[in-house]
Amino acid sequence: MAGFAPPDSFRSDASALQLFPIRFERIGTDRFLVGNMVGDMEEMTATELDRLCALDLTPGDGLYERSFEKLFIGTVDQRARQQLLALRLRSRLSFLRAATPLHLFVVTLRCEHVCPYCQVSRQSQDRVRYDMDQATASKAIDIALSSPSPLIKIEFQGGEPLLNFELIRWIVVTAKQRAEPLGKQLQFVITTNLALLDDAVLDFCGEHGVLFSTSLDGPRDLHNKNRPRRGQNSYELAVAGIGRIQERLGPDWVGALMTTTEASLNRVEEIVDEYVRQGLDGMFLRPLSPYGHAIKTKQFHKYDGQEWLQFWKRGLRYILEINKSGRRFPEFYSALMLRRMLSDEPIGYVDLRSPAGIGLGALVYNYDGTVFASDEARMLAEMGDRRFELGNVREHRYRDLVLSDTLVSAVAESLTQTAPQCSTCVFEPNCGADPVYHHATQGDLLGIKPLSEFCERQKGVITHLFELLEHSPEDAAVLRMWAS
């Protein structure tokens, strides 16, 4: 009877190994994070990293298997592993095939709140010349529907969009009529403070599937301090609105966003408790953006990247405990990062992409018909910097806008794949280019990354999530659930 060949016969020849592109970063004493070009990462000691680079690996030594699994190495004669890397990279970049799914209509700049951190230059309620008109909206709908994405999301922004609700009605009905023969699917969201929510708005939104996104900064005193309005009742109106939408249309019909101000930094648990109390399905621990009134009132400079990271880590710890007690309640920024780190699915979030999401991920139609590459680009224009203005709905078609020199140069100049610092950064496959942020804060589309708070936050967030995934099994179970 023929016997089995000895185990050595099944071992591959270590001398035929080759090293694939890898990057690494020191994360502690004798601790390195090593990553491949599609974002898989592994922790190694300096000796292990040296051995990997020298291909001093032997089947069965553990490091060989870890390196093989993470696609750091392959064999010279097998192309399958390079093809796998290429396939995974293609999948991660597949958002480019369905360009511009998101279209933001700024239906008015008017607002009845006077928030000091507001990122747009809101106008007082009576200044109707800051409303979008039907002719402008009609042209914007045509541009939105001519973008390649089969699913088009139209988001109504302001100011306070409910101050121009008649136009929202018209846009929803008209866009649906025009989308049908084109075979496009539509989604609608109103970003509103909910102060003007009434039965007519609820009826219409229920009938046409229009969702709500609102702002909730935390408990009553914090929210009302951050979001002043006449009557000091922003919190009461927001919470009442959330309750009415949940009761009338369903719990999934409304989501909320918070903005971290200096006053929030020590109160993250109370903020999380407020979201849980309002029956919301998760929360996004967002830093302030450097635009509009947030700059004029110096709100943006009141805390730095490290202080935000401490706030986010403390909030994440508290949120993880809520999840471990049985309630599914994700922190949405972590969930987005985890999907990047644990899968090759393209994600819709425009700030975590390279090529950058400006224009290719979203277009913004301002009330006067000007088109911008992102909402932040519009905010920058309100501050007098029109670097990311792409054109006007009356003169330009979709192709003109996305192939404009302004957009093409901004996207090309900000690619992380080729940028100094980013191109050799272990976090690059899970990071993104944010040319508007870097232009606003550093006057440089690419950004001077050692001085960039965006970069500091990305490194801090990804490293922390990696460490939880690797060293804390109970937390890792929750984080993996969020990513799926």
Which residues are at the interface with ligand SF4 (CB under 6 A)? Answer: 416, 421-422, 425, 427-428, 431, 449, 455, 458-459
320 versus 422: smaller Cβ distance to ligand SF4: 422
Provide the minimum distance between the beta carbon of 432 and ligand SF4 in the complex, in angstroms, as a whole number. 7
Let me know: does 64 contact 49? Beta carbons within 8 Å. Answer: no
367 versus 466: smaller Cβ distance to ligand SF4: 466
User: Tokens 């994600």 appear where?
Assistant: 347
224 versus 463: smaller Cβ distance to ligand SF4: 463
119 versus 416: smaller Cβ distance to ligand SF4: 416
Provide the minimum distance between the beta carbon of 33 and ligand SF4 in the complex, in angstroms, as a whole number. 11
Task: Record the tokens describing residue 313, joined without a space.
Answer: 């880590």
Of the CA atoms within 13 Å of residue 183, those in its CB half-sphere come to 3
26 versus 97: smaller Cβ distance to ligand SF4: 26
Let me know: does 230 contact 112? Beta carbons within 8 Å. Answer: yes
Provide the minimum distance between the beta carbon of 376 and ligand SF4 in the complex, in angstroms, as a whole number. 16
In order of 33, 109, 297, 353, the CA distances from 360 in angstroms are: 31, 24, 32, 10
Report the side by side order of strands in the sheet with 23-28.
23-28, 31-35, 41-44
Provide the minimum distance between the beta carbon of 452 and ligand SF4 in the complex, in angstroms, as a whole number. 6
210 versus 426: smaller Cβ distance to ligand SF4: 426
187 versus 421: smaller Cβ distance to ligand SF4: 421
242 versus 425: smaller Cβ distance to ligand SF4: 425
Rounded-to-integer distance, Cα 140 and Cα 38, Å: 36
Task: Record the tokens describing residue 202, joined without a space.
Answer: 């609820």
Rounded-to-integer distance, Cα 108 and Cα 14, Å: 65
Provide the minimum distance between the beta carbon of 354 and ligand SF4 in the complex, in angstroms, as a whole number. 8
Q: What residues form DSSP beta bridges with 168?
A: none
**104: helix, strand or coil:** strand
Provide the minimum distance between the beta carbon of 42 and ligand SF4 in the complex, in angstroms, as a whole number. 17
User: Which residue, among 83, 91, 39, 84, has the nearest Cα to 425 in the 3D structure?
Assistant: 39
Provide the minimum distance between the beta carbon of 37 and ligand SF4 in the complex, in angstroms, as a whole number. 12
Provide the minimum distance between the beta carbon of 422 and ligand SF4 in the complex, in angstroms, as a whole number. 3
Write phi, then psi, for 44 (nearest 5 degrees): -140, 155
282 versus 357: smaller Cβ distance to ligand SF4: 357
Write phi, then psi, for 348 (nearest 5 degrees): -80, -15
Residue type, 421: Q
Provide the minimum distance between the beta carbon of 56 and ligand SF4 in the complex, in angstroms, as a whole number. 28
Q: What residues form DSSP beta bridges with 285?
A: 258
Let me know: does 478 contact 324? Beta carbons within 8 Å. Answer: yes
What b/e sequence results for 300-328 when a residue is b if at least 16 CB atoms lie within 10 Å of its CB, and e otherwise?
beebebeebbebbbbbbebbbebbeeeee
Cα 57 from chain centre:
39
